[in-house]
Amino acid sequence: MAGRIIGALRRLNELGTQYYNAPYRAAIARAKRDEEDLFMLLVFSEMMGIPNPAAWSTLELQPLLMDRFHDWHTRMGMERSPLDHFRCC
């Protein structure tokens, strides 16, 4: 009996959270995308000729982010890859 009540309360909490967050989903997704775009710029800025004081810290992240690089540069309005030595298109 107590397990059913706890399960129902958890489900009610989940529905309440979804109802409350629904109007803000687009704004949250946009803010998250903008933050990721800025992070990608920071990671790949040294490769594009922009001085980056954190280059040594971000160098090890580049292989992890290469699969998302194409989506990022097209979203930033660049038809082709801005990197001369890296072609993704």
Whether the pLDDT of residue 17 is over 80: the answer is: yes
> Whole-structure pTM over 0.85, yes or no?
no
Does the pLDDT at position 3 exceed 80?
A: yes
pLDDT in tens, 25-64: 899 899 999 998 888 888 878 777 778 777 777 777 777 7
Q: Identify whether the C-beta of residue 57 lies closer than 8 Å to the C-beta of residue 42.
A: no
Contact 44, 83 (CB under 8 A): yes
> pLDDT class for 14, splitting at 50, 70, 90?
very high
